[in-house]
Amino acid sequence: MTTMNTLSLTAPGGYRPLTRSVMLTTLGLSVAVSFGIFVILDLGGTTQSFNIVGAVVVAAVINVVLIYVLSRISEGRRKATDRLMTGLVTTAFLITLLPLISLIFTTVVNGLPRFDLTFFSSSMRNVVGAGGGGLHALMGTLEITGAATLISVPVGLLSAIYLVEYGRGRLSQAITFFVDVMTGIPSIVAGLFAFALFAIFFGPGIRFGIGGAVALSVLMIPVVVRSTEEMLKLVPNELREASYALGVPKWLTVVKVVLPTAVGGIITGIMLSISRIIGETAPLLIIVGMSTSMNYDLFSDRMATLPVFVYTEYANQGADTQAYLDRAWTGALVLILIVMVLNFGARLLSRLLSPKGMQ
Amino acid sequence: MTAPIQVRSPKRRGDQVFSTSALVAGVAILIVLAAVAIFLVAESLPAFLANPADISSDGSGFWGLVGPLVFGTIWAAALALLIALPLSIGIALFISHIAPRKLAQGLGYIIDLLAAVPSVVFGLWGITVLAPAVQPFFVWLVDNVGWIPLFAGPVSGTGRTVLTVAVVLAVMIIPIITAISREVFLQTPRLHEEAALALGATRWEMIQMAVLPFGRPGLISATMLGLGRALGETMAVAMVLSPSVIISFALLQSQNPTTIAANIALNFPEASGIGVNVLIGTGLLLFIITLIVNSIARVAINRRKAFSGAN
């Protein structure tokens, strides 16, 4: 029991580790005290309603401090610091969950009232006040995102193939570096670029869907390149060498051996990159504009898109404020649902499609 | 001595077509990036060259207009970073070293979900939920610590201040910083960790001695990437902030410095003539600022790759 003796030197009352039951009691105590305080504050009229976020945060703080003091007394300074930091780090995680929970909760609660058939079957044409829907915006988003995907995927895939299979020396280094830099382009700058590009040819009043697709491609290409590159690098070299040894040309090796091996990861990457750009608002606000009617033509006139729809419904509330807010929240809910489906679908696909043995 | 016989594989048409198209795609990316810069410069030149009186009524010209915007952009992003960095490091440590192994991956997904939420939804949430929720707290701050210039009154009645924006931005960049620092922390050589534990270190001491020093370069680049995102974030700022073109450090007042990106989003749809060029000029500045920040981040990451003992 020498360890016990050395450790007991650091703690005034002898080394007694905190047991699980002590920890749980402390937690229960802090929660009770904190919620008690907030209930009293609420009943006393200091706060307008029971502040659950405040109560949880105060409970966490009380708990961390209590554990620290207890541990300091029974376990010594070093162990107490360890417990304090563990508590703080866990609290950091829990605090970050608060906005996520609050955001999803508010979106679902506020979005459900208009999450109905009308929303998905009508546009905002001639709608003032209640009614109307986001079909035009949904179609616009699907078209523009689809066009952006059509531009980005071939370019991104081929660039990644170049970087992994062919690229040597300065040029591939430069491409790698600038792809990384491009990942950080602010979305609004991409929108301005698309506008500047088309304004030179079509004049400063230009607004059309394909411009939005170009802007989104600028944001999407680097993500596709990055993820595809990572996946291609995971393909074992033995597969390539076996293919060469059989006399298969390099391009057929890439197309028939390398790409099929990595296809799960590549599709996952593409879906995640779509989920990243489908919620972009700023570039579309600039180059695509907004419309209240259906417009299926990417090459002429303004188009509505879901993110811009949410923004304009909020920003230009009419007389019947609630109707506009409801539509904005429903738009937001649809957007979040699309993004979540893409995210979970991507993860599921990567599980299903990854080659046996790499799971 | 005979010259060595060179065996050349036959040039196949398929190979040539394929490698050329791959090369073209790669070069196209460089061209696009160059085009972004060139077109932005071309469209913003008129703003740089214009008569100052045409741009703003007080005659201060492009730079007089852009100064407060640059200040607001950097100020909001810096505040967001100040909030996000400690939280992100905490979350990354929690996921990589403290949470039970089985839970860790799932918890990582949850934080990644935050990154997937579109910025316009963050804006909507910030203005309808967060701003009213923090406003009473702001009142309390001004009443009690108002003597600190940062918290000086009069307090904003709506809560739509630069501090609220910083909180929203922080929530948006936390997943980015967390994702990268988590990866870096997980790469800490196991031997270092076990050596520290074997010497009798507690878990926190092990993190201090082995994990954090190893992760520092990665942490720096993660921070820079988060900063880059915060600098360019548009919709959340445009929706939440009640903007004005001023330079002010006060966090809780109703007059707040706005950012370049939010200013563009709010004014572009109605802009015309030289106004469009001015907005594109500010966009060019934003592009340059984020380019510098991101390049620093990338250089830091690449150095780590080159010198770390882990690879």
CB contact under 8 A, B26 and A167: yes
Q: Touching check for B24 and chain A: CB below 8 Å?
A: yes
Residue A182 belongs to domain with CATH number:
1.10.3720.10
Residue B286 lies in a domain: yes
Report the gap between the CA of B1 and the closest CA in chain A (Å): 31
**Which of these ranges, A15-29, A82-96, A146-160, A204-218, has the smallest mean pLDDT?**
A15-29
Taking 50 as the pLDDT cut, the residues of chain B under it are 307-311
- The pLDDT value given to residue A321: 87
Chain A hits for B21, Cβ within 8 Å: 158
Query: Looking at chain B, which residue has its C-alpha nearest residue A51?
Result: B133
CB contact under 8 A, A328 and B124: yes
Domain C-terminal end among A84, A113, A142: A113
Query: Looking at chain B, which residue has its C-alpha nearest residue A78?
Result: B202
Can you tell me the ipTM of this complex? 0.86
Of B17, B112, B286, nearest to A186 by CB-CB distance is: B286
Report the gap between the CA of A59 and the closest CA in chain B (Å): 18
* Same domain, residue pair A178 and A265: yes
- The pLDDT value given to residue B135: 87
Interface of B with A in 80-139 (CB under 8 A): 86-87, 89-91, 93-95, 98-99, 107, 109-114, 116-125, 127-130, 133, 136
Q: Touching check for B247 and chain A: CB below 8 Å?
A: no
Domain C-terminal end among A65, A87, A113: A113
Residue B28 lies in a domain: no
* Same domain, residue pair A21 and A72: yes
Residue A7 lies in a domain: no
Q: What is the pLDDT of residues A329-355, one digit of tens each?
A: 999 999 999 999 998 898 888 788 766
Task: Flag whether pLDDT at A358 surpasses 80.
Answer: no
* Same domain, residue pair A140 and A30: no
Residue A358 lies in a domain: no
**Residue with more model confidence, A23 or A159:** A159
For A339: left if phi > 0, alpha if psi spans -120 to 50, otherwise beta; the answer is alpha
* Same domain, residue pair A108 and A126: no
The domain total for chain B is: 1
Token code pair at residue B246: 């001023």
Domain C-terminal end among A113, A146, A177: A113
* Same domain, residue pair A141 and A28: no
Q: Touching check for A109 and chain B: CB below 8 Å?
A: no
Residue B262 lies in a domain: yes
* Same domain, residue pair A338 and A210: yes
Residue B92 lies in a domain: yes
User: Strands, E, within B4-51: which ranges?
Assistant: none
Q: What is the pLDDT of residues A153-204, one digit of tens each?
A: 999 999 999 999 988 888 988 998 888 888 888 999 999 999 988 988 888 7
- The pLDDT value given to residue B199: 93
- The pLDDT value given to residue B304: 59
Is residue A282 a contact partner of residue A187, using CB atoms and an 8 Å limit? Answer: yes
**Which of these ranges, A38-42, A77-81, A138-142, A194-198, has the smallest mean pLDDT?**
A38-42
Residue A320 lies in a domain: yes
Token code pair at residue A307: 């993110």
Task: Flag whether pLDDT at A359 surpasses 50.
Answer: no
The domain total for chain A is: 2
Rounded CA-CA distance B272/A13 in Å is 76
Rounded CA-CA distance B271/B291 in Å is 26
Strands B256-257 and B243-244: parallel
* Same domain, residue pair A17 and A160: no
Chain A hits for B134, Cβ within 8 Å: none
Q: Touching check for B264 and chain A: CB below 8 Å?
A: yes
Find where tokens 């060469």 sit. A244
* Same domain, residue pair A129 and A268: yes
* Same domain, residue pair A20 and A146: no
Task: Flag whether pLDDT at A3 surpasses 50.
Answer: no
- The pLDDT value given to residue A16: 74
Q: Touching check for B268 and chain A: CB below 8 Å?
A: yes
How many alpha carbons lie under 13 Å from residue A309 in its C-beta half-sphere? 34
**Residue with more model confidence, A324 or A23:** A324
Q: CB under 8 Å to A166, separation ≥6 — which residues?
A: A172, B19, B22, B23
Report the gap between the CA of A187 and the closest CA in chain B (Å): 7
**Boundaries of domain holding A184:** 121-353
Residue B137 lies in a domain: yes
- The pLDDT value given to residue A8: 42
* Residue closest to A288 by CA, chosen among A275, A274, A276, A300: A300
Residue B203 belongs to domain with CATH number:
1.10.3720.10
Cis check for the bond before B154: say yes or no (omega within 30 of 0). Answer: yes
- The pLDDT value given to residue B10: 67
Mutate to test the interface with A, among B208, B234, B288 (most CBs of A within 10 A): B234
* Same domain, residue pair A62 and A209: no
* Same domain, residue pair A91 and A149: no
- The pLDDT value given to residue A59: 87
Q: What is the pLDDT of residues A266-320, one digit of tens each?
A: 998 999 899 989 989 999 999 998 888 888 888 888 999 999 999 999 988 888 8
Q: Touching check for B239 and chain A: CB below 8 Å?
A: yes
In this complex, how many residue pairs, one in chain A and one in chain B, have their CB atoms less than 8 Å apart? 274
Q: Touching check for A348 and chain B: CB below 8 Å?
A: no
**Residue with more model confidence, A20 or B83:** B83
Residue A1 lies in a domain: no
Q: What is the pLDDT of residues A217-267, one digit of tens each?
A: 999 999 999 999 989 998 999 999 999 999 999 999 999 999 998 988 899
Residue B83 lies in a domain: yes
**Boundaries of domain holding B214:** 73-307
* Same domain, residue pair A262 and A330: yes
Rounded CA-CA distance B105/B310 in Å is 22
Q: Touching check for A78 and chain B: CB below 8 Å?
A: yes
Chain B hits for A82, Cβ within 8 Å: 202-205
Find where tokens 């974030």 sit. B233
Q: What is the value of pTM for the model shown?
A: 0.88
CB contact under 8 A, B117 and A103: yes
- The pLDDT value given to residue A104: 92
